[in-house]
Structure 1
Amino acid sequence: MTEVPEDRPSSVRLTDPRALRAYAHPTRMALVGLLRTEGPLTATRAAALIGESVASCSFHLRQLAKYGLVEEAGGGRGREKPWRATAQFTSWDPAQEDPAAAEAVDALQRTVVERLFEQARRWLAGSSQESPAWRRAAGSNDTLLWLTPEELTELTSRMEELTLPYLARHTAPQARPEGARPVTLIQLAFPAPEPGGPS
């Protein structure tokens, strides 16, 4: 695992294809995300919050624990024992040389993108009920840039640096200003077809 600097939130780095495949499940991603923002939680409480059965959540939590993404928080028994996330972020190497790992990463990244865009669709479907301030603040845009891989890596790093001051609010509710709410910031960067080239 890559060492995380003290001023950065903790991260779990997945390298085992089995761990990558295990995480590539919408319910498991939902559980990890929930525990990161609301945990520790029991399987019963998590099930109520994400709309799954208690048995399903209990099973998925045990699978996540096998790969170090969640752990028991102590206390309780059976489905009433609380669970917590082991880190604030999950990372993996998108450029795998091992075919099994590459296939697992592809499946995981598809699941991540599908989940994020489903969240965006839900926001759009209900945005008319939101305040004008939130409708103006939220949005999407795209910019075409001509970059080298090194420049894109640097740009991504600089964008991540901008979010650091806000990340402590995950685990410190008292640091959240009045009116703050969870916001999903999606970053996608990929080579676009060159003009005149195959699309």
Structure 2
Amino acid sequence: MPKEIIDPEPEGERPRSIRLTDPRALRAYAHPLRMSLVGLLRSSGPFTATRAAELTGESVASCSYHLRILAKYGLVEEAPGGRGREKPWQATAQYTEWPEYSEDASIAQAADALSAAVAEQYFERVTRAMANRQRLPREWQEAEQFGDSLLHLTHEELADLGARIDALLRPYEARASDPSLRPEGARPVSVLRIAYLDLDVPDSEKE
């Protein structure tokens, strides 16, 4: 299923994932600022709308409005402490998931639109990373991964491959908010996983 894999929350403190199936929630989350706010809350929260404005460059009023919309659909919630406008917000889950398929056209269309919005955000982040990579030490430049593979798989094999990659990444998730688990030299690394049936490649069937 489609899943954002940015900025995970600590394992065990909150649900690992929230699944969106309401078309209104899917459309609401597709807003770039809202996706950014949820990602920031997962990596740097809890924080107030004032802090959100500092992190995003948007106005406090705008951030406050979008945080309330996110709360309406269960993606964020008020965190303990704070008063009035200075109330802190926190993410409700580590990841966001949504349907990869639905017979309901409204859900399918909203889910595809959200996936497209997330892909655009991924592209922007990768572009920024590539623009800044010359500032990195040599060992990090050499360790970074950038490439693609064209595989011939059945849909069962593709699903199994995704599950195995999930299992491979899972042991590192708890490090996000527990610095004691990080080995010396560990730094935040975004791992993007995109696998799709490539209709641009001629598909020759076996005879």
TM over 0.5: yes
2:26 aligned with 1:20: yes
Q: Is the 8 A contact 1:43 1:82 kept in 2?
A: yes
Q: Is the 8 A contact 2:99 2:108 kept in 1?
A: no
Question: Identical aligned pairs, as a percentage?
Answer: 58
Please give the alpha-carbon distance, in whole angstroms, between the structure 1 residues aligned to 2:67 and 2:33: 10
Q: Match for residue 59 of structure 2?
A: 53
1:149 pairs, out of 155, 159, 164, with 155
Q: For residues 180-191 of structure 1, what are the structure 2 equivalents within 5 Å?
A: 180-191=186-197
- After superposing the two structures, state which structure 1 stretch, 186-195 or 51-60, moved more: 186-195
Q: Match for residue 121 of structure 1?
A: 127
2:140 aligned with 1:173: no
Q: Match for residue 45 of structure 2?
A: 39
Q: Match for residue 195 of structure 1?
A: 202
Please give the alpha-carbon distance, in whole angstroms, between the structure 2 residues aligned to 1:142 and 1:65: 37
Deviation track 1:10-52 (CA, whole Å, cap 9, x = no partner) reads 1000010011011101101111011111111111111101221
After TM superposition, the runs of 4+ consecutive aligned structure 1 residues lying more than 3 A away are: none
Structure 1 residue 121 displacement after superposition = 0.2
Secondary structure at 1:84's aligned position in 2?
strand
Please give the alpha-carbon distance, in whole angstroms, between the structure 2 residues aligned to 1:69 and 1:84: 9
Secondary structure at 1:68's aligned position in 2?
coil
Deviation track 1:77-100 (CA, whole Å, cap 9, x = no partner) reads 233110000010010112121111
Relative to structure 1, the CA distance from residue 90 to residue 28 in structure 2 (aligned partners, 3 Å threshold; closer, same or farther) is same
**Which ranges of structure 1 fall in alignment gaps of 5 or more residues?**
none
Structure 1 residue 178 displacement after superposition = 2.3
Structure 1 residue 137 displacement after superposition = 1.2
Counterpart amino acid of 1:169?
A: R
1:103 pairs, out of 105, 109, 124, with 109
Q: Calculate the aligned-residue CA RMSD, in Å.
A: 1.8
Name which structure has the greater RCO, CA cutoff 8 Å, separation 6+: 2
TM-score by length of 2: 0.88
TM-score by length of 1: 0.91
Deviation track 1:94-153 (CA, whole Å, cap 9, x = no partner) reads 212111111111110011000011000001111111111111111211111111111100
State the aligned residue count. Answer: 192
